[in-house]
Structure 1
Amino acid sequence: MVRTAVVGGGVVGLSVGIELLDAGHAVVLVDNDEAGQAASWGNAGHVAVEQVEPLASLAAVRSMPQRLFLRGGALAFPLAAVGAWLPFGLKLLAASSPARFRKGCAALRPLMEQAMPAWTSLMERIGAPDLLKQDGHFVLWNEPRKAIAGKAAWSSADTGVAQVKPATPGELEALGKLGKFTVAGAIRFAGSGQIADLADLRDALRVAFAARGGRLVSGTATLRRVGNGVEVEGVEADQVVVCAGVRSRAIMEALGHKAPMIAERGYHIRTDAAAWPKDMPPVVFEERSMIVTRYRDSLQAASFVELGKVDAPADPRKWERLERHVAELGLPVSGPFRRWMGCRPTLPDYLPAIGRSVKADNVYYAFGHQHLGLTLAPITGKLMAAMMAGEQPAVPLEPFDLRRFG
């Protein structure tokens, strides 16, 4: 039996661990996030199969000035983190060329096509199918001009297996009852979905991991070189899989890899669900770059792309703006809000890193999923298990190899 250590207990790490256990490995998972505060458990809960087009694109670059936080948008470049985001930004610009953008779309498309089936399979196998909701999501606009432009943009975008259609009169009426705002236009996606509750998902995955014989170790993994491979201090393992999110950069660079990842920090506020309909799918208020998600017992508003340092203090202005958005829209919620900030692990081409190390014989890796960590976790687990078994993965993994960075 192959002994495997998985470093990182987020949704990707747990998905990889479960797949390896089902493939016959003896798995130890080392995780230092005892309280469950990582980005895996604080995101928008959206299974975003429509996001086939990487965010590294000329269109995204051209839109940056209008999306800056200082101009009311959701994009922030903290001055104190210029040493982190400037080199990252230059690499993003290079990755946004039309040719590389097309390659990125071609790489992401097959992952997205298999994302929802992989979620369905995983939830059924761990006995938690009710945690996956496949009701799509809404995108709405409050201003007529922006509604026209937004609908046109989504109609021409590559959304993969997700379908886009205008919201019906009944859906428009239901959206209008969510608050005190005008619905100038809205679209509904079919094929996307959400997790019913992220805390319950974490519990279900950890229980399923343990039930299969996996061992959870709380603490920070220490890796050290041993010959042509590595070992994890205190863990007997033949193989190591690095799934440590933003912390993966330091691990992989210590092995000699280039992993130019940045902490793309997001913020949310949560409160009791109150009068928000239980059956309402996630709603994106596109002009405010905010997504509102109803979980089982809470309502969450999330936003912001803050390119910064992992351990920098949170910026309270982000939470304050979210609270202002909620108040201005007249949503049926009130404080006190529970505030959270977490770091998405983002590489400059907005593709994940999935592969086998060429610097250490027994090291594999799966990290850097940016906004798509939740979406792609189960399919990533399946691909890792196939690769580590010497089988041909269902999706070509060459585009996700770290060697693309030199």
Structure 2
Amino acid sequence: MFKADVVVLGAGMVGVSAALHLQARGREVVLVDRHGAAGLETSFGNAGLIERSSVYPRVFPRDLKRLALYALNLLPEAHYHATALPKMAPWLLRYYEESAPERLERIGVAQRALIERCLAEHEALMEPAGALGLLRRTGWIKLYRSEATLSEAIAEARSLEAFGLNIDILDENGLAAREPHLAGAIGAVHYLDTASVDEPSRVAQAYADLFVKRGGRFLQGDAQSLREGEDGLWSVSTQEGAVHARDLLVSLGPWSDLVYSEFGYDFPLAVKRGYHMHYALGDGATLTHPVLDADVGYVLAPMTRGVRLTTGVEFARRDAEPTPVQLEQTEVEARKLLPLGDRLDAKPWMGCRPCLPDMLPIVGRAPRHENLWFDFGHQHHGFTLGPVCGRLIAELITGEEPFTDPTPYRPGRF
């Protein structure tokens, strides 16, 4: 048995970043994860984007024709399990309501307060972690196959320039100049402020290594062993014995409910599952930017292992068996876009994105427990927002003046 000031549950990008920020503020921190390494769950399988240009969240679509196609599972960007709908229906309805234009502006303001600092906060951790060499400042490209969708995307991009974003509009020749081996798109929007990495889990592990180098303890343990003691301390079991701490931070992403529900909390947390596969490139082809095939709904991103294809969203129970139909559908289109070679993974990887219906994370103190804290629900942006939300929760736990108003992210809003 040993004591610490804070135990952080979860060593994905969100938890590792919070642990580093708490440590930098003088707290003795123990980081606990069921794996012996960092970034092996949701932080492992994303497209590696630090999405600085995402100043508005991903909203529930309102086009009736598109909704009808979703209902029939006819669009590869989204797929659902019928067995999951009874439980997810209330969540989806609330997601639809929160996506209304009159609410979206308020939510967008709250998201921008985090997004505008996301890259700077990553760089502040990357430099001492020796990970700046993993950062690519190439932006990312959203390409389109029809005049209608391209025109709509250009209009959206022009509206986002008001937020200080740097954006290039590319015709077919301009796209070919930047990615000569892509075929089939008529134009694209290049968001220049977004950065990316070639292996997201390697960045999370670099942050964890920095945490340990600075004296932190990273232990393998079971988050569900968490207990609240009569002495006011939290305890959790690890392979090195029980750890006791005054403050406890839950950063378990899509598994956060396994802990908070035991203490009487019921947040509207759902998951959007996703898949990836790596491919070799054939015919001497190259890919130097992450690319969204916007009209189909998948991303191709250059990684150390090859080109990673990441799918859109699957609405299913978190622990249901994998059904990588979106990967099968989008691979066909991806091979038309880029000369992909052999699959490099034995089977598709599947992960879960932790999502709340108002598209904002939960960051703050538990309403009924003085020393219980939450930092989860970052939607598609856990890798992007881990460091900036880690800073915010560390400021709240240590009593510092937070860099932004934490009210929009408070757990009590639900």
TM-score in same-fold range (> 0.5): yes
For 1:373 and 1:105, the matched residues in 2 are separated by 17
Q: Residue by residue, what CA displacement relative to the aligned partner does 1:21-62 show, whole Å, maximum 9, x if unpaired?
A: 121111111111447541111001111122221224564788
Matched residues, number: 403
For 1:245 and 1:301, the matched residues in 2 are separated by 22
* Counterpart contact for 1:133–1:195, Cα < 8 Å: yes
Pick one of 323, 336, 352 that aligns with 1:315. Answer: 323
CA RMSD of aligned residues (A): 2.4
The 5 A counterparts of 1:4-403 are 4-34=6-36, 36-56=39-59, 59=62, 63-67=66-70, 70-157=73-160, 160-167=163-170, 171-174=174-177, 177-179=180-182, 181-221=183-223, 222-227=225-230, 230-233=234-237, 234-272=242-280, 275-277=284-286, 280-338=288-346, 339-403=348-412
User: One-letter code of the match for 1:209?
Assistant: F
Identity value in percent: 28
User: One-letter code of the match for 1:113?
Assistant: E
For 2:99 and 2:161, the matched residues in 1 are separated by 16
Using the TM superposition, give the Cα deviation of residue 175 of structure 1 relative to its aligned residue in structure 2, in angstroms: 5.3
Describe the SS at the equivalent of 1:334.
strand
For 1:404 and 1:61, the matched residues in 2 are separated by 30
Using the TM superposition, give the Cα deviation of residue 253 of structure 1 relative to its aligned residue in structure 2, in angstroms: 2.5
* Counterpart contact for 1:355–1:402, Cα < 8 Å: yes
* Counterpart contact for 2:40–2:201, Cα < 8 Å: no
For 2:308 and 2:163, the matched residues in 1 are separated by 27
Q: Residue by residue, what CA displacement relative to the aligned partner does 1:154-179 show, whole Å, maximum 9, x if unpaired?
A: 33357844322212776422356324
* Counterpart contact for 1:49–1:112, Cα < 8 Å: yes
Using the TM superposition, give the Cα deviation of residue 15 of structure 1 relative to its aligned residue in structure 2, in angstroms: 0.6
- How has the CA–CA distance of structure 1 residues 301 and 69 changed in structure 2, closer, same or farther, with 3 Å as cutoff? farther
Unaligned segments of structure 2, at least 5 residues: none
For 1:384 and 1:38, the matched residues in 2 are separated by 21
Unaligned segments of structure 1, at least 5 residues: none
For 1:62 and 1:321, the matched residues in 2 are separated by 20
For 2:411 and 2:157, the matched residues in 1 are separated by 31
For 2:14 and 2:114, the matched residues in 1 are separated by 14
TM-score when scaled to structure 2?
0.90
User: One-letter code of the match for 1:5?
Assistant: V
User: One-letter code of the match for 1:188?
Assistant: H
For 1:103 and 1:143, the matched residues in 2 are separated by 32
TM-score when scaled to structure 1?
0.92
Describe the SS at the equivalent of 1:238.
strand
